Structure 1
Amino acid sequence: MFTPSLIVIILEGPSMREQQATEQQIRKALAAAEPIILAPGPKEPPTQIPPVPNDVWDLPGGTAWVYHAEGSHQLTKPVIVADGFNMGPSNLDMLWQGLDWGQYAFFSELRRRGHDIVLVGFHERSAAIQQNAKAVIEAINRSCKMRVGNHRLAVGGFSMGGLVTRYALTKMEHERIDHETGLYWSYDTPHRGAWIPIGLQAFAHYSRELNSGFSDQINSDAARQLLAWHIEEWDGKPRMDELRERLLAELERMGNWPAIPMKIGVANGVGTGQGNGIKPGDHTVEGKGLTILGTHLYAQRSGDNQLVAKLRLVTPPPAKEVRTDDLPEFDGAPGGTLEGFGILADKLNEQPPILGLKTNALIRHHSFVPSVSAVAIRDVTTNDDLYVNIDRLEPGTSELDEFRLASQNEPHTLMTEELGGWIVEHIGNMS
């Protein structure tokens, strides 16, 4: 029986040596490789150690790390901060690195101003929003019980954390539970949906037999709830997943938003309608190694029968084509960006050259949380909505009471003084 193999030419001075990697060797190496996981934030491990929390709470499906305000020995002005979407458990070191050790020290500034931090992490960040909301509800109840005085809570989160806290507060009000919250806040939260390019989703599922981690992330409960369009197989038809439909219906039944607190939010994208420079149909990823030769990804183009991917991995040519119908030109939309194309190429390029997986990311990023979604002012189903000039819209059409947009399209959940400082000011202005 013939076993497919790859011939890799390695230059060694004036001479050349041929090496072969069989299909079996490639499959074994990929099965053992770290999975491709799309996630924002720092790529390098932290070089600092977070401060030791004053208390640690065990929550249903999560953990709360409690930090008192500077100079305080008790809980007086709690700010609930919920972690966002990823795979596996929340990581305290990474949370501090992303939210306090960069451009703006969000946690430190809150503590300096007399506020306590109740940082809520989840045992499984890809679990359903309703499941992780249980941890937030318990953190709210415990904060109210342990707080000294009657200062109302500020409750919110980053990315998915903003949806988890929104759901938790809405559910508590629906069940007539006093959450004692004066301010709800969200940081680049996809209130109207997030976007992972269909070509990336298709590659995740196409490579599932070799390493299921990427596909597992795309098909996780939280991803199905967050994404405006989702496919569960490489050749599936993009649609709103049933889990998202149920979540939205449940929120609608309970009132959609908490009614008692003031509601604010920020977007890591601009309000001018100016996109991030990606043009519809742009070539984003190109497979160069023999194992992946023929794989190409393209930026989303509107219209029918639009090519977004050609997929080939180990299997003989020709590559499989992935096409879409009537989707908006999401990749270039104004909003918080994710290096989805770059992460894919980087992970493949980490593999030994003999495996033939060399890949070029011609464009590294794409829009992930459109500005209109983060400030809950328009849907994300048409180009007119995605690229609308928010600055010219009536602010009252947003479902938030107040919002702030970035001065440039920047990475999703990037902590800046422009946005983080605005939230800190609102928290400080609570009565």
Structure 2
Amino acid sequence: MTQEARIDVELTWSQAEEKSSAEKTSEYARRLPKGPWFGTPTAGARGGGEGRSKETWPLRSARPYRREVALGEAAVYLADGHRELERPFIFADGFNYGPSNLDDLFAHFNAPYPGGRKGFLDQLLAAGIDVVLVGFEQRHTYIQANAGVVISAINEAINRRVGDTPLIVGGVSMGGIITRYALAEMEDKGQDHQTGTYLSWDSPHNGAWIPLVLQQMAYFFESMPTEPGKVKEAELIRSPAAQQLLYAWVPDAKYEGPVATASELRVQFLSELRELGQFPQRPRKLGVANGTGTGVGRDLPAGGEVFEVQVPLVVYARANFQPDGGERKPIGEMRAVGQVRRGFTSHVPGLDGAPGGTLDSFGKIAKALGAEIPATYEYGCFVPSVSAVALDYDPVAWDVDPYERVEAVDEKSALDEFKCDTENTVHSQVTKPLVDWIVERLVG
């Protein structure tokens, strides 16, 4: 029987340190970078989509979720030689904070990449596939709410399409989960989505991973006094999307207890997926992973120290890589304004070095805090390969070896076909092995 993954926290208080450090700590907090931590790479892309011939569709979910009616937008790029929509490829944006920027999304997926002759989206457009990028007004809201936006995009594409060529529908990161839910919901309600192929790009079908110690730090440092109106460090991590997406999550820096079921939002989301049959049944289901399928991860020592920073009488922070299982293993420590918090985990897998698409969360947070970090430690696993290829295991208990050679056990996947990268590349990165595989299946 799998033992419960949990976190424990030791809290202590130094009144003398509190009095001597409050003013200096406030100044330190004001120097911290503004905005939420843990954003994914497409947010930083610029250029490439602007000025291209496109049409935009305003999108509104046809039904509320938890009283929220989600909004979004589609950017439509017609294939070479097309004057109307003929062969739509609907591709949804993924996990991040705030509204989508579809020009950035186009730029990210159409950027030059090593070994490529032309951008991924340009290859599709040249092959007669119309590209419909779907963005959301709030990427960080409920997956089910944004699934309503995707359903509206699918219906709009069906209404505008000339001919009866089946749709291709999918997304990157959480966009692949949103479209998975949308298609399954349409089937459950007897709605004809007219989709022949579903495609996910490094989507965390069984959950994503953000180190628990970094989640704790986001909450801890946002509590330090700073100027009003700032978007706080933990805004993304506390969002509905993060709660639904992450295998392990904590609601604040003091939390003790289970981490795989800490949020009822994830419990409910997983329950709804089961009721919908987990995946849409009619389309061919394809997926790609930015992680390797060989079982080879990154050389990150489980439980080892990642970075340490100390400003005397102001702040101290130490982060460790996630220990691999065990009982009450230390993950880090934080001190400021007299508060001292030490974190420990039990029965949590050491996912930082697992094969998978990576994020530079350790690097960005170390830089934000002014800590030095080895370059090889900046990136850790965000979407484990076993999750991106939808292996059959319990998404709460995580009764799976994250180092499993998934390329050798394709029959255990809920996808009909999948492709892993040849290296553990950055989450959502466009690489030649992945593009060649997708283009071969979508164009042929």
Query: Which TM-score tier does this pair reach, normalised by the shorter chain?
Result: 0.7 to 0.9
Task: From 92, 106, 116, give the equivalent of 1:82.
Answer: 92
Task: From 263, 279, 282, give the equivalent of 2:304.
Answer: 282
Task: From 395, 405, 427, give the equivalent of 1:389.
Answer: 405
CA contact (8 A) 2:244 2:265 kept: yes
Note the residue ranges of structure 2 that are not aligned, 5 or more in a row: 1-14, 61-70, 225-229
The aligned residue for residue 204 of structure 2 is 190
SS at match of 2:234: helix
Measured in 1, the distance between the counterparts of 2:310 and 2:43 equals 24
Task: For 1:306-385, list aligned pairs within 5 A.
Answer: 306-312=329-335, 314-316=336-338, 319-348=340-369, 358-362=370-374, 363-379=377-393, 381=397, 385=401
Task: From 123, 127, 150, give the equivalent of 1:136.
Answer: 150
Residues 1:150 and 2:152 are matched in the alignment: no
CA contact (8 A) 2:34 2:231 kept: no
Structure 1 vs Structure 2: percent identity of aligned residues? 37
Deviation sequence 1:275-322 (CA, Å, 0-9, x none): 21112112112114346643100011111101011012x3237x3101
SS at match of 2:407: helix
Measured in 2, the distance between the counterparts of 1:123 and 1:191 equals 23
SS at match of 1:216: coil
Residues 1:425 and 2:440 are matched in the alignment: yes
Residues 1:256 and 2:278 are matched in the alignment: yes
Note the residue ranges of structure 1 that are not aligned, 5 or more in a row: 7-19, 349-357
Give the drift of 1:253.
0.7
Shift in alpha-carbon separation, 1:42–1:254, aligned structure 2, 3 A: closer
Measured in 1, the distance between the counterparts of 2:192 and 2:141 equals 26
The aligned residue for residue 235 of structure 2 is 216
CA contact (8 A) 1:327 1:382 kept: no
Deviation sequence 1:93-138 (CA, Å, 0-9, x none): 3212321114151211110111101100000100110010111101
Measured in 2, the distance between the counterparts of 1:41 and 1:291 equals 35
Shift in alpha-carbon separation, 1:28–1:56, aligned structure 2, 3 A: same
CA contact (8 A) 1:289 1:359 kept: no
Q: Which amino acid aligns with 1:226?
A: L
Shift in alpha-carbon separation, 1:234–1:256, aligned structure 2, 3 A: same
Shift in alpha-carbon separation, 1:134–1:292, aligned structure 2, 3 A: farther
SS at match of 1:79: strand
Q: TM-score with structure 1 length normalisation?
A: 0.88
Give the drift of 1:53.
4.2
The aligned residue for residue 37 of structure 1 is 37
Q: Which amino acid aligns with 2:303?
A: G
* Higher RCO by CA contacts (8 Å cutoff, separation 6 or greater): 2
Q: Which amino acid aligns with 2:416?
A: D
The aligned residue for residue 138 of structure 2 is 124
SS at match of 2:216: helix
SS at match of 1:269: strand
CA contact (8 A) 2:45 2:108 kept: no
Q: Which amino acid aligns with 2:425?
A: E
Deviates more, 1:70-79 or 1:283-292: 283-292
RMSD between aligned residues = 2.3
Deviates more, 1:230-239 or 1:323-332: 230-239
The aligned residue for residue 231 of structure 1 is 250
Measured in 1, the distance between the counterparts of 2:57 and 2:401 equals 42
Q: Which amino acid aligns with 1:420?
A: V
Residues 1:267 and 2:267 are matched in the alignment: no
Q: Which amino acid aligns with 2:415?
A: L
Deviation sequence 1:195-245 (CA, Å, 0-9, x none): 000000110111232366221111100000000011001132323221111
Residues 1:162 and 2:183 are matched in the alignment: no
Measured in 1, the distance between the counterparts of 2:313 and 2:46 equals 34
Shift in alpha-carbon separation, 1:138–1:384, aligned structure 2, 3 A: closer
Give the drift of 1:382.
5.2
Measured in 1, the distance between the counterparts of 2:120 and 2:384 equals 23
Shift in alpha-carbon separation, 1:149–1:232, aligned structure 2, 3 A: same
Deviates more, 1:101-110 or 1:295-304: 101-110
Measured in 2, the distance between the counterparts of 1:291 and 1:97 equals 45
CA contact (8 A) 1:79 1:153 kept: yes
Give the drift of 1:27.
4.4
Shift in alpha-carbon separation, 1:300–1:25, aligned structure 2, 3 A: closer
Q: TM-score with structure 2 length normalisation?
A: 0.85
Q: Which amino acid aligns with 1:173?
A: E
Shift in alpha-carbon separation, 1:256–1:378, aligned structure 2, 3 A: closer
Measured in 1, the distance between the counterparts of 2:429 and 2:223 equals 34
Measured in 2, the distance between the counterparts of 1:23 and 1:293 equals 7
Deviation sequence 1:58-78 (CA, Å, 0-9, x none): 001100001100121110000
Measured in 2, the distance between the counterparts of 1:205 and 1:143 equals 41
Q: Which amino acid aligns with 1:424?
A: V
SS at match of 2:293: coil
CA contact (8 A) 1:36 1:343 kept: no
The aligned residue for residue 55 of structure 1 is 55
Residues 1:400 and 2:409 are matched in the alignment: no
Measured in 2, the distance between the counterparts of 1:392 and 1:284 equals 32
Task: From 403, 412, 418, give the equivalent of 2:427.
Answer: 412
Measured in 1, the distance between the counterparts of 2:37 and 2:171 equals 21
SS at match of 2:316: coil
